[in-house]
Amino acid sequence: MSDFVDRMITEYTELETKTTKLNEFIHNKKYLELNEENRALLNAQYNAMMAYQFILKRRIKINGGN
């Protein structure tokens, strides 16, 4: 694999970890203590992260990664 694919894989792995942690927080009691705007922004952030994760995974695949 090329260096740029390796970098994408590293980025994907790090993003996956952050996305998992955010998802866990969203399903935690402390999330419900936030005001509505903060909850909405966290949901938007999570959705953006998931979209980015999907894009990275697809780019990795079409460039020879797994």
Q: Give dist(CA 6, CA 39) in Å, integer.
A: 34
pLDDT of amino acid 17: 98
pLDDT of amino acid 57: 97
Q: What is the DSSP string of 27-59?
A: TSHHHHTS-HHHHHHHHHHHHHHHHHHHHHHHH
pLDDT of amino acid 27: 98
Express each pLDDT in 9-66 by its tens digit.
999 999 999 999 999 999 999 999 999 999 999 999 999 999 999 999 999 999 998 7
Q: Give dist(CA 10, CA 20) in Å, integer.
A: 16
Q: Is the overall model pTM greater than 0.85, yes or no? A: yes
Angle at 22 between CA 31 and CA 13, to 5 degrees: 175
Angle at 36 between CA 40 and CA 28, to 5 degrees: 75
pLDDT of amino acid 48: 98
